[in-house]
Amino acid sequence: MRQRFEKLSRRLRPIAHVARPLAAKHFRLPLPGTDRAPDVAPDAELRPRPSIRLSWSKAAFLLFVALPTALSAIYFGLIASDRFVSESTFVVRSAKAPLAGGLGGLLQIVGVTRSQDDSYSVQEYLLSRDAVTALSERLPLRDMFDRPGADFVARYPNLLRGSSDEELFQHYKSFVSVLHGATTGLTTLTVEAFRPEDSVEINRTLLNLGEALVNRMNERIRADAIRFAEAEVKRGEERLVETQLAITEFRNRELMLDPSQSSLVIAALIGRLSDELAAVTAQLREIEASSPSSPQIPGLRRRIAALEAQITLERQRVSNASDGLAEKIAGYERLNLQREFAVKALASAMTSLEVARNEARRQQLYLERVVEPRIADFAEQPRRLRGVVVTFAASLLLFLVGWLVLAGVREHAIKMK
């Protein structure tokens, strides 16, 4: 302990050489190695200075600069316990590149392809209360933060934090940090502990928890992809069945299997009737030309009228606006087209389901450890000299800001008078 204090005193000696002349200049203290105060302007020497103002300035400097620096030096030099740091580096990668095209877009929607936020998800999880709970179930976390020899400030529980779970989480965040590099894609996990083996054990357990999180994300991705594809297949099957039932109902209602085939039969019938009408008409004209009073003429005319009436009737069966064969053909073709679309959609959905199942057999995301945690040879924390220097600089800055503010207020008060 004595050697540590002497070492800290040697490190703080340059700071004392700089701070003492500054204090002598501003507060008229004796210069180092002399008994005289720094030179001041003649008019300043003639103006009387209240002793209370000088005493207040000295007290303020001692209270806001010297005292925090001394306490910081005492803490970091004599009290602060060594903390060992364990670092590891990992990266979250995808098993393959995202698929292109319509199917790739579909799978990307349901989460098969890699998201850009996978590393951030692991980072947020490692700094969450869930990670602290899972870590406490696997390791004696409270005992690791309260090892024998730990100082009263850094240990848990301490003067500032009690033994509640929320305070444990806040203390955990001061000992564990996760930093993600957006450029390299690497994530660095840093763990501090009072023993080197504790820091390594916490680091490895957190890596295992991160891998478990990635595995759960993979299971969710696979389940979502397969469930979505199966739902599309079921929807396609239902659509095909509905279309087929509509076609069957149409055939039962219209008493015909295929209106298109019926239209061909009617067209052929109209053609035969037209041929027969033409032959009878030619025969009638021939008889009227050769024998105008022939008894066959009335019979031929009746036959011609019957043929024309039948041809008109057959044409009406095709072209009737309400129940004509043309309207039935249009409705039947529409049903056939819907059935073709349903068949193609079902085939595409089944292909998507097969691809989703193949993708589900592979691990889409995985956590790859780039640098494994190692046991530290020496304690990196706390950085004692830097802590004392930072305390001194912050205290001095606070003091100077307060002094400038107070001087401005006094000058403003003098002007108001």
* Domain that includes residue 30, residue range: 2-80+383-416
- Burial of 188-227, coded b for 16+ CB within 10 Å and e otherwise, reads bbbbbbbbbebbbbbbbbbbebbbebbeebbeebbebbbe
The list of the chain residues with pLDDT below 50 reads: 1, 5, 15-16, 18-19, 22-33, 35, 37-38, 40-46, 50-54, 97-116
pLDDT of residue 77: 75
Residues 254 and 328 in one domain: yes
Residues 120 and 18 in one domain: no
pLDDT of residue 207: 94
Residues 94 and 216 in one domain: yes
What does the alpha-carbon distance between residue 37 and residue 39 come to, in Å, rounded to a whole number? 6
CB 312 within 8 A of CB 246: no
Residues 269 and 136 in one domain: no
Residues 16 and 124 in one domain: no
Helix axes 384-416, 67-74, angle to 10 degrees: 170
What does the alpha-carbon distance between residue 74 and residue 5 come to, in Å, rounded to a whole number? 8
Residue 378, in any domain of the structure: no
pLDDT digits (tens, 9 = 90+) for 137-196: 999 988 888 888 788 778 888 777 777 888 889 989 989 999 988 888 889 999 999 899
pLDDT of residue 95: 66
pLDDT of residue 319: 61
What single letter denotes the amino acid at residue 370?
V
pLDDT digits (tens, 9 = 90+) for 189-225: 999 998 999 999 999 999 999 999 988 888 887 787 7
pLDDT of residue 134: 93
| Overall number of domains in the chain | 3
Residue 376, in any domain of the structure: no
Residue 59, in any domain of the structure: yes
Residues 307 and 404 in one domain: no
CB 376 within 8 A of CB 38: no
* Helix count and strand count (H, E) for the chain: 14, 4
Q: Which residue is listed with tokens 């703080």?
A: 12
C-alpha dist (Å) from residue 101 to 108, 226, 361: 10, 19, 21
Residues 108 and 222 in one domain: yes
pLDDT of residue 23: 46
Residues 271 and 343 in one domain: yes
pLDDT of residue 17: 52
Residue 130, in any domain of the structure: yes
Residue 29, in any domain of the structure: yes
Residues 199 and 228 in one domain: yes
CB 95 within 8 A of CB 161: no
pLDDT of residue 88: 93
Residues 309 and 329 in one domain: yes
Residues 217 and 110 in one domain: yes
What does the alpha-carbon distance between residue 383 and residue 391 come to, in Å, rounded to a whole number? 12
Residues 190 and 318 in one domain: no
Q: pTM of whole model > 0.75? A: no
Residue 377, in any domain of the structure: no
